[in-house]
Amino acid sequence: MQVGLQWTYEITLGDAEPLSYDEVSWPLGDQAFTYAVRGRFPAAASGGGGGPFSLVLRSKATAAQQGPLQYPKGVELEVVQDDLGVFSNAKQIFWAVITDERHMAHLVVTYDASDAPGSISMGWGDGYAVRLVFFDDRPGIQIGQGDEPRDNLLYDGPVTNVEGYGEQALLHFIRSVAGNEEEVSDSILGAPFTEEMWYAKNQGLVRLVQKVGGRTSMTWTLTSLTQE
């Protein structure tokens, strides 16, 4: 959350094509319409291979409001470099943190109203996606949004012997996104996927491994953490 910190990640692709999933809400008057959005990364060659790609994020400024949220702690992020296109359609990006019952950090991404699913003349507001990326609880707790969540985050607990970190204890989380049987059978977009994430003290996310249908699709490795 410290303003001026800059994270540089190297992203390498695996045997499967990487995917994205977000639940994007679009305000219209006093309502909001939410859509499950599954996506592919144009820069990733189908079937894997290629890269490595760079993703550079910088903590730009504190933010009292984070898109639709007003959590006690917030910071706006700047995308310095994004070769793969992880945030290619984003208008603004925030971390939003609450510490009431448990420490919970959310990634908030906003989208310009001109990208809404209907005519802009209908009066759409900027869209937004809010996703839990970190929380403090006992190992084995899993959190998802909604009655039948398709996107869940499990806290597996502290682990050691993570590649590149030896005996240093890292916090291990597993994101799981359910498949969508309604997608066309020959489309990869309907495939379930997982993202294993490891967090280090005073560094944040240091490693991410996504697997689509059990096959590694991409790996993020923190290569540099600097103070601008």
CB 206 within 8 A of CB 222: yes
Give the distance from CA 17 to its chain's centroid: 17
Residues 6 or more apart in contact with residue 119 via CB below 8 angstroms: none
Instruction: Please tell me the distance from the alpha carbon of residue 34 to that of residue 112, in angstroms, as a whole number.
Output: 15
- CA 16 → CA 19, 33, 47, 167, 189, distances in Å? 9, 32, 5, 30, 12
Positions in the chain whose pLDDT score sits under 50? none
pLDDT at position 42: 82
**Tokens representing residue 105 in the block:** 């950090």
pLDDT at position 93: 98
pLDDT at position 9: 98
Q: Which residue has the tokens 């953490």?
A: 225
**Tokens representing residue 156 in the block:** 């597996």
Using only C-alpha atoms, the chain has a radius of gyration, in whole angstroms, of 18
pLDDT at position 186: 58
189 three-state secondary structure: helix
CB 21 within 8 A of CB 35: no
Q: Which residue has the tokens 């597993």?
A: 174
In the chain, the number of structural domains is 1
Residues 6 or more apart in contact with residue 30 via CB below 8 angstroms: none
Instruction: Please tell me the distance from the alpha carbon of residue 109 to that of residue 195, in angstroms, as a whole number.
Output: 18
pLDDT at position 7: 98
Q: What is the pLDDT of residues 48-85, one digit of tens each?
A: 557 799 999 999 999 999 999 999 999 999 999 999 99
Cα torsion at 22, 127, 77, 104 (round to 10°)?
-60
Instruction: Please tell me the distance from the alpha carbon of residue 5 to that of residue 150, in angstroms, as a whole number.
Output: 32
- Domain residues for the domain of 128 are 5-227
Q: What is the pLDDT of residues 101-122, one digit of tens each?
A: 789 999 999 999 999 987 777 8
Backbone angles phi, psi at 192, to 5 degrees: -75, 155
Which neighbouring-strand residues pair with 3?
none
Give me the chain's average pLDDT, please. 91
Instruction: Please tell me the distance from the alpha carbon of residue 150 to that of residue 182, in angstroms, as a whole number.
Output: 14
